Structures are given as C-alpha cells and as structure tokens.
C-alpha cells in the first residue's frame, strides 16, 4: 500500500469572477521512504498540493488516501489528529512561536497529542523534544528563543518540531528559501540524513539543483502534473 495516493484530485479557487484551477485532476502515488521533490513556477499548484497533502485543505473533488485512509471524508477534529500524528511541516519562514523557547516550540505538537494519546505524560514530552533537538544538532540551544537563533538554527528547530511526533510524512515548503546558500545546503544535508533514516520526504522548491538531490521529482505546470522523473537512488 502506498503512503500517499491521489486520485483525480481537483482544487479550484474563485478569485472574484475568475476561477483558478490550482490542481487539475492530479493522480499520483508516493511510497513510504521516498524522497520526492516538487518543482514548478509559482502558481503551478505545488503549494496547493502541499496543503492538500498536509490536510490543511480539502480538495473539491477526487480522493486522497493517506496510509489507506480516505482523508477527504474526515471532519476537522479527525483531520487535526491525523495531522498531529502523521505529518510534519517545515515552512519557508520557519513559523516558530516567537515568545517560546526552542524546546517549547518543539514540544508543541506533543502537547496537542495529549487529547488522543492515553500514555501521554509531561515527562515524555520533554524527553522527546530534547531528543528531537539532538537529532537536528541543536541540543545546546534548547532554551533560546527564535530571535536569539540564526536562520539555519531556526529552521533546524522547525525541523525538530516536524520530527518530534515521528510522522509518516515530512512536508517541506521551500525550506531553504530564507537561508543563505551555505546554510541551505546544510539543511538539505540534514534532509538527506533524515531520508536515510527512513523518513518519507516531500520537498517543494524553486531550485532545480535542490530538487535534483531527491530521487524523484514531480514537475507541476498550471495545476497539472507535467512530469515525474525518477533518478537512481543517491
């Protein structure tokens, strides 16, 4: 069973009188453990794809099965839970809570896990957050606030937050877009490491060089899936 299975997914927006087809009958499968990059010009539908895959948007039509579950039928609470348990987000502008320490930011998904995890304890939350920060190489900075960290460090905190609940899928939307090339390269290396450790990764990017580091690239154009390139595993 594929981790992700999209079947004729269509997403349409209305901007005043005009309709914009953000996703036009997209069908694709992503297996567990894949490292997939998504490229395409802006407006091509790659951000919408990510929102749909991340359960932030429900498509107008078509089916989306995640781990075999048709998520288009879920209500808001169920979608929130699934997002919490199976999906990790990494955003271009980090999206950390500025008033909280790195550790508290990383703990955040685990705090919202309490509602559907019977074995939840406060102690386990801290331990797992500390461990996630160790994984991204930031154990020394856990009590710093985002504004006391460099851009690369901030993105590492965001990655630790995305990883802390051991998600089935890591969605990264232009994760290096706000970073200098050296730091960006470091972050990509970190993604590759995570991939080797078994994480399924979907990386949305403008940058063809970055996209080439994934073993599979999806090309989007005007809401269509215009290309699906497989490379030899790196």
Among the listed residues 57, 192, 207, 222, the single contact to another protein using CB under 8 A: 57
Looking at beta carbons only, is 158 or 217 nearer to another protein?
Answer: 158
99 binds another protein (CB under 8 A): yes
115 binds another protein (CB under 8 A): yes
Among the listed residues 80, 126, 139, 183, the single contact to another protein using CB under 8 A: 80
- CB 179, min distance to another protein, A: 19
11 binds another protein (CB under 8 A): no
85 binds another protein (CB under 8 A): yes
Distance CA 154, CA 95 (A): 9
Looking at beta carbons only, is 104 or 131 nearer to another protein?
Answer: 104
54 binds another protein (CB under 8 A): yes
Stretch that binds another protein, among 78-86, 132-140, 147-155, 178-186 (CB under 8 A): 78-86
- CB 94, min distance to another protein, A: 10
Binding site for another protein (CB under 8 A): 51, 54, 56-57, 76-77, 80-81, 83-85, 89, 91, 95-97, 99-100, 104, 108-109, 111-115, 120, 122, 161, 165
């Amino acid at each position: 069973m594929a981790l992700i299975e999209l079947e004729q997914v269509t997403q349409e927006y209305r901007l005043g009188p005009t309709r914009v087809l953000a996703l036009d009958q997209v069908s694709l499968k992503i297996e567990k453990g894949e490292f997939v990059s998504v490229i395409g010009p802006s407006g091509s539908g790659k951000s919408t794809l990510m929102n749909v895959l991340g359960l932030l948007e429900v498509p107008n039509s078509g089916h989306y099965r995640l781990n075999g579950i048709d998520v288009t039928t879920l209500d808001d609470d169920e979608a929130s839970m699934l997002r919490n348990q199976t999906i990790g987000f990494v955003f271009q502008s980090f999206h950390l809570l500025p008033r909280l320490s790195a550790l508290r930011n990383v703990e955040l998904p685990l705090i919202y896990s309490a509602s559907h995890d019977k074995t939840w304890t406060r102690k386990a939350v801290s331990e797992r957050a500390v461990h996630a920060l160790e994984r991204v190489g930031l154990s020394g900075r856990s009590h710093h606030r985002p504004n006391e960290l460099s851009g690369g460090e901030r993105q590492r905190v965001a990655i630790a937050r995305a990883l802390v609940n051991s998600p089935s899928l890591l969605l990264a939307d232009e994760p290096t877009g706000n970073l200098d090339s050296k730091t960006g390269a470091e972050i990509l290396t970190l993604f590759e490491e995570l991939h080797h450790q078994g994480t399924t990764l979907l990386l949305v990017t403008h940058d063809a060089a970055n996209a080439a580091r994934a073993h599979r690239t999806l090309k989007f154009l005007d809401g269509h899936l215009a290309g699906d390139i497989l490379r030899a595993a790196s």
